[in-house]
């Protein structure tokens, strides 16, 4: 079976490429060319034919990922299924299943069977969990078991995998040489891999046998997402030598994976102050040959716990503006607890809004929706106003909870409504906003 990348390189426009073109208002040939050069990826897996088609990359709408999964403290498979379904209902584009507690095979398979989003995961989570259960020591993980597990997860229908290939002896030496980390290591997979390498005095098998990783991903046409196990967990660690060493290696591997016919994207950057976000994305795009960038956060402050979905949304809007392609949501529970259903809902909504804000700055033609909202608001056409909003149900709920005496206004201004009074000053054009043309 040929991957989307290999098909595109032969000049073939697949059904998935045509679907992405239609969704995005692009010419199918434009999508094919960008898939062929690795600027767009389309997560897929023939083991899961009911999965939605989603394109991630250059010139496309910035996508939103929602992450769910059990922990060692809370194992409730029904809850994880509900969270997956809520994420899909609220408009997430992809889902990551990141369980570390309970029957991990069962959790994954239940989630895969109850939603239609492309589902990704981090295979090191289950690998180290199983080693800890079997040997009471995750550092006894057998590398052959790791590769067998990756294939088993792909056979279940996983569409993209965050695999920590960029951690190697050189990366760890950079961390050791700099001698400090204000936020420590915050990636579970990355931390366990560093521990395994140091304990066993061996190279990371995912880096050492990168060709084997790519071969497995190609077999299922899944996207290899090059995980950032050394990402900054505090803004004071942003762009330190260890993080940058891993980023350079991941960008090199993205290019190497593409040469092997494997769809690849790069992950980053974690906690990054606002003024460094544009530079981070520029570096990833330049060093990787414009590979799609899957952004975790970025969180531009460390002190927002309880409202980190807002902290991250500020960073995500800036990231989308400067070229990020897929944003991993953050929920209000980040840094505090395992997210519940409502946390998932709020996380998806905040991140969708952030991605939308970034997109209307990145793509001027995306502003037509904002014009339609503004005109309906100006003319106090409430039904039209709700129709154009990202979250009409929330807006209607708020308005219905405080009904004004004059239904043309709201209770914020009442008899002093600027919109209503302003209507006498001009004759507004209430024609529908024009449809944006297809983009090259």
Average pLDDT, integer, range 333-354: 98
Given the DSSP bridges, would you call strands 40-41 and 56-57 parallel, antiparallel or unpaired? antiparallel
Residues 112-146: tens digit of each pLDDT: 999 999 999 999 999 999 999 999 999 999 999 99
Query: Looking at per-residue confidence, does 205 or 297 come out higher?
Result: 205
Average pLDDT, integer, range 23-51: 97
Instruction: Name the residue among 128, 268, 288, 257 with its Cα closest to residue 186.
Output: 268
* 369 pLDDT above the threshold of 60: yes
Contact 20, 53 (CB under 8 A): yes
* H/E segment holding residue 97: strand 94-97
Looking at every residue in the chain, the average pLDDT score rounds to 94
List the alpha helices (DSSP H) in 289-430: 308-321, 341-362, 368-378, 382-387, 392-401, 418-422
Distance (Å, whole) CA 14 – CA 11 = 9
Instruction: Name the residue among 230, 186, 212, 223 with its Cα closest to residue 65.
Output: 223
Average pLDDT, integer, range 182-203: 95
Residues paired with 67 in a beta bridge: 96
- Residues of the chain with pLDDT > 70, as a percent, come to 95
Residue 433 pLDDT level (bands cut at 50, 70, 90): very low
CATH number for 66-300 (one of 3.20.20.540, 3.50.50.60, 3.40.50.300, 3.40.50.2300): it is 3.20.20.540
Instruction: Name the residue among 370, 283, 272 with its Cα closest to residue 312.
Output: 272
Residues 153-177: tens digit of each pLDDT: 999 999 999 999 999 999 999 999 9
Distance (Å, whole) CA 10 – CA 85 = 37
Distance (Å, whole) CA 182 – CA 323 = 28
* 251 pLDDT above the threshold of 60: yes
Distance (Å, whole) CA 81 – CA 361 = 35
pTM tops 0.75, yes or no: yes
Instruction: Name the residue among 42, 94, 34 with its Cα closest to residue 327.
Output: 94
Residue 417 pLDDT level (bands cut at 50, 70, 90): confident
Q: Which regions of the chain carry the CATH code 3.20.20.540?
A: 66-300
């Amino acid at each position: 079976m040929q991957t989307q990348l290999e098909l595109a390189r032969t000049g073939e426009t697949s059904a998935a490429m045509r679907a992405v073109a239609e969704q995005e208002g692009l010419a199918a040939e434009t999508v094919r060319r960008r898939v062929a050069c690795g600027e767009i990826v389309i997560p897929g897996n023939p083991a899961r034919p009911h999965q939605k088609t989603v394109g991630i990359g250059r010139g496309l709408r910035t996508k939103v990922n929602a992450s769910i999964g059990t922990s060692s403290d809370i194992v409730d498979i029904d809850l994880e299924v509900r969270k997956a379904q809520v994420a899909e209902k609220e408009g997430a584009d992809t889902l990551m299943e990141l369980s570390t507690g309970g029957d991990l095979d069962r959790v994954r398979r239940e989630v895969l069977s109850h939603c239609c989003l492309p589902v990704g995961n981090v295979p090191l989570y289950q690998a180290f969990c199983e080693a800890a259960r079997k040997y009471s020591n995750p550092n006894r993980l057998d590398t052959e078991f790791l590769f067998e597990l990756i294939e088993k997860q792909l056979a279940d229908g996983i569409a993209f995998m965050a695999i920590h290939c960029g951690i190697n002896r050189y990366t760890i030496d950079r961390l050791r040489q700099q001698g400090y980390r204000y936020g420590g290591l915050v990636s579970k997979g990355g931390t366990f891999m560093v521990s395994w390498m140091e304990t066993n005095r061996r190279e990371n098998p995912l880096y050492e046998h990168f060709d084997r990783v790519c071969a497995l991903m190609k077999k299922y046409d899944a996207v290899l997402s090059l995980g950032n196990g050394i990402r900054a967990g505090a803004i004071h660690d942003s762009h330190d030598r260890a993080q940058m060493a891993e980023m350079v290696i991941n960008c090199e591997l993205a290019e190497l994976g593409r040469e092997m016919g494997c769809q690849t994207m790069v992950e980053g950057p974690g906690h990054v102050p606002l003024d460094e976000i544009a530079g981070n994305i520029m570096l990833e795009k330049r060093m990787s040959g414009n590979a799609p960038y899957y952004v975790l956060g970025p969180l531009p402050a460390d002190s927002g716990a309880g409202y980190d979905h807002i902290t991250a949304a500020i960073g995500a809007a800036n990231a989308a503006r400067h070229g990020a392609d897929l944003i991993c949501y953050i929920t209000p529970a980040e840094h505090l607890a395992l997210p519940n259903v409502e946390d998932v809902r709020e996380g998806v909504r905040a991140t969708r809004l952030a991605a939308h804000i970034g997109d209307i700055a990145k793509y001027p033609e995306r502003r037509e929706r904002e014009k339609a909202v503004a005109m309906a608001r100006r003319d106090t056409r409430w039904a039209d106003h709700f129709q154009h909003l990202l979250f009409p149900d929330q807006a209607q709920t708020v308005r219905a909870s405080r009904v004004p005496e004059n239904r043309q206004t709201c209770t914020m201004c009442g008899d002093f409504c600027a919109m209503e009074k302003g209507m006498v000053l001009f004759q507004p054009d209430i024609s529908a906003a024009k449809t944006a043309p297809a983009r090259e």
